[in-house]
Amino acid sequence: MKKTIRLLLFMLLTCAGVSAQPSQAKIDSLIRILSTQSGQERVLTLIQLSEAYREISAKKTYETADSASRYADEAGLNNMQGTILLSIGKSATILGDYPMALDYLGKAVKAFEKSENFKGLINSNISIANVYKNMAEYTEADKFYIKAIHLAQENSLVSHEAASELNRGNMFFAIGDYTRAMESYQATKKLYESLNDSGRLASSLSNIGLIYWQWNKNDLALEMLLRSKDIFEEKKNYVELGKIYNNIGRLYHQDFHDTTKALEYYQKSLKIREEIGNQLGIAVVLANIGSVYRDNQQYEKAFEYFDRSLSISRMIGYKEGILLGTFYSGMAYQKKKNYEKSNILMDSAYNMSKRYGINNYLPMINEAKLNNYAALGQYPEFLAEFKEYQARHESLKSEVDELRFSELEARNEAERTKKTLEKIESENRQYQHQMISRNSLIGFLLLIIFALTVAVVAQNKK
């Protein structure tokens, strides 16, 4: 169970990003600056002010963005509309209004296409993909990530290509496709190395460390996470620190079984995410804190945190968060030996997992229900659940067998290719030998002809 539980504990990577840590002082400062500005500078300050309001008031966020849009129209700054629409879309994403986010991000795409602003266009496609990912529509999300990657490659925008790969890798990680996640993270690492961007390189190293953790390289994983943490702290990158603290907390909790350290890092993550206003991130870390209290058999506190997490996930429509909180609650009831209540929640989690296509939960739900039925002595139900367990493992066996067959075919093909290459090399050597012999013969004959020619010329002179 320990290994499969880890699949849940990494659902943090996909938390929607936020760009700054706003404060009332910053808001006041921006308002003062506005009175002295005009043109493009004023529009950019209004956008910053709108984003700063995210923590305080959704209404003021949208009102300020609307002011920026009206001013841009009046000042004839039509090329700024895409930037304003993108900002509104990101605000709606962070505040959990996904339909509104998709509406404004779609408008941003059109505006950037019209002005041929490829950087804005790429950022808009990444943002749209992130919304679909949060809604558990992964196929749709991947279309927009790939579109962003291609746009970046076509326009030689290396940093934007890296950002697209990073977000795509985060999605694959969230759904448990670690091989494809590693491919994206390795691509991101190379791109940031080429840019000498230490901050974002640290983010890539952190992500690669998480996959090492999945592969049971725990010491290496912790080393890389701590290295990333140090860089983010130095750069005051609060968005990434919220993630990295959460990840380190999970590693201490699940593998080093140090609940004191785990809670320390979880609380750091929660504090940052609450200050930023990242509702999705708050929901995730609350569930993780609850899981620590569950393992410490402090069930009242555990359910308090699970309920807070579920409330936020439901409010913002974060389906994966709802599934996470439901599963964690079911596991808590199992640990509390309330197996009937645990099964009710596991059935709910199963239905959500099927409906949302988040299939990496299914083996864990199956295993939990087997344990519940065994504890209750409900053997017919246990056998029915075991058949699903058996079917899943037979399916996995078929996949493994197919992979082994493919591997064998690849080896056979490689052997055939090797023999063909050896044959070609042998024929080339024979051909070269023949050419050398032929050239030597031709050279010898030319020498004879030359000698005969000289002799004939000499004879004629006589």
Find the CATH number of the domain harbouring 173: 1.25.40.10
What pLDDT, on a 0 to 100 scale, did the predictor assign at position 16?
Answer: 37
- pLDDT exceeds 80 at position 355: yes
Tell me the HSE value of 444 on the side-chain side, using a 13 A CA sphere.
6
Note whether residue 96 is domain-resident.
yes
What pLDDT, on a 0 to 100 scale, did the predictor assign at position 149?
Answer: 97
Identity of the residue numbered 309: S
**Spatial separation of the C-alpha atoms in residues 234 and 249, rounded to whole Å:** 20
3-state SS string for the chain: CHHHHHHHHCCCCCCCCCCCCCCHHHHHHHHHHHCCCCHHHHHHHHHHHHHHHHHCCHHHHHHHHHHHHHHHHHCCCHHHHHHHHHHHHHHHHHCCCHHHHHHHHHHHHHHHHHHCCHHHHHHHHHHHHHHHHHCCCHHHHHHHHHHHHHHHHHCCCHHHHHHHHHHHHHHHHHCCCHHHHHHHHHHHHHHHHHHCCHHHHHHHHHHHHHHHHHCCCHHHHHHHHHHHHHHHHHHCCHHHHHHHHHHHHHHHHHCCCCHHHHHHHHHHHHHHHHHHCCHHHHHHHHHHHHHHHHHCCCHHHHHHHHHHHHHHHHHHCCHHHHHHHHHHHHHHHHHCCCHHHHHHHHHHHHHHHHHHCCHHHHHHHHHHHHHHHHHHCCHHHHHHHHHHHHHHHHHHHHHHHHHHHHHHHHHHHHHHHHHHHHHHHHHHHHHHHHHHHHHHHHHHHHHHHHHHHHHHHHHHHC
**Spatial separation of the C-alpha atoms in residues 94 and 58, rounded to whole Å:** 10
Query: Do residues 205 and 175 both lie within one domain?
Result: yes
What is the arithmetic mean of pLDDT over 296-309? Answer: 96
Query: Do residues 9 and 21 both lie within one domain?
Result: yes
Confidence of residue 284 (pLDDT cuts 50, 70, 90): very high
> Looking at per-residue confidence, does 77 or 165 come out higher?
165
**Spatial separation of the C-alpha atoms in residues 241 and 17, rounded to whole Å:** 11
What pLDDT, on a 0 to 100 scale, did the predictor assign at position 359?
Answer: 81
Using one digit for the tens of pLDDT, what is the confidence trace for 422-438?
A: 665 666 566 566 655 55
Query: Do residues 153 and 24 both lie within one domain?
Result: yes
Query: Do residues 258 and 309 both lie within one domain?
Result: no
Tell me the HSE value of 327 on the side-chain side, using a 13 A CA sphere.
30
**Spatial separation of the C-alpha atoms in residues 421 and 287, rounded to whole Å:** 58
Query: Do residues 148 and 255 both lie within one domain?
Result: yes
Query: Do residues 369 and 236 both lie within one domain?
Result: no
Query: Do residues 197 and 337 both lie within one domain?
Result: no
Query: Do residues 17 and 69 both lie within one domain?
Result: yes
Using one digit for the tens of pLDDT, what is the confidence trace for 47-70?
A: 777 777 776 677 777 777 777 778
Note whether residue 278 is domain-resident.
yes
- pLDDT exceeds 80 at position 93: yes
What pLDDT, on a 0 to 100 scale, did the predictor assign at position 326?
Answer: 96
Query: Do residues 294 and 306 both lie within one domain?
Result: no
Note whether residue 391 is domain-resident.
no
- pLDDT exceeds 70 at position 15: no
**Spatial separation of the C-alpha atoms in residues 291 and 369, rounded to whole Å:** 19
Pair 205, 228: CB distance under 8 Å: yes
**Spatial separation of the C-alpha atoms in residues 111 and 31, rounded to whole Å:** 27
Give me the number of domains the chain comprises: 2
Using one digit for the tens of pLDDT, what is the confidence trace for 149-199?
A: 999 999 999 999 999 999 999 999 988 899 999 999 999 999 999 999 988
Note whether residue 225 is domain-resident.
yes
CB atoms within 10 A of CB 117: 18
Using one digit for the tens of pLDDT, what is the confidence trace for 238-261?
A: 988 999 999 999 999 989 999 999
Among candidate residues 298, 330, 363, the one where a domain is terminated: 298
Using one digit for the tens of pLDDT, what is the confidence trace for 107-143?
A: 889 989 998 999 999 999 999 999 999 888 999 999 9
For 343-373, give one letter per residue: b (16+ CB within 10 A) or e.
bebbebbbebbeebebebbebbbbbbbbbbb
Note whether residue 399 is domain-resident.
no
Note whether residue 71 is domain-resident.
yes
Whether the model clears a pTM of 0.85, i.e. scores above it, the answer is: no
Q: What is the distance between the terminal CA atoms of the chain, rounded to a whole angstrom?
A: 108
Pair 205, 189: CB distance under 8 Å: yes
Query: Do residues 281 and 366 both lie within one domain?
Result: no
Tokens 């291609």 sit at which residue?
150
Among candidate residues 298, 315, 340, the one where a domain is terminated: 298
What pLDDT, on a 0 to 100 scale, did the predictor assign at position 38?
Answer: 84
CB atoms within 10 A of CB 341: 15
What pLDDT, on a 0 to 100 scale, did the predictor assign at position 407?
Answer: 52
What are the two backbone dihedrals, phi and then psi, of residue 336, each rounded to the nearest 5 degrees?
-80, -5
Among candidate residues 298, 324, 346, the one where a domain is terminated: 298
**Spatial separation of the C-alpha atoms in residues 450 and 297, rounded to whole Å:** 104
**Average pLDDT over the chain, rounded to whole?**
82
Note whether residue 461 is domain-resident.
no
Note whether residue 68 is domain-resident.
yes
Containing structural domain, residue 44: 2-298
Query: Do residues 344 and 248 both lie within one domain?
Result: no
Query: Do residues 258 and 348 both lie within one domain?
Result: no
Q: What is the dihedral of CA 306, 310, 313, 319, to 10 degrees?
A: 100
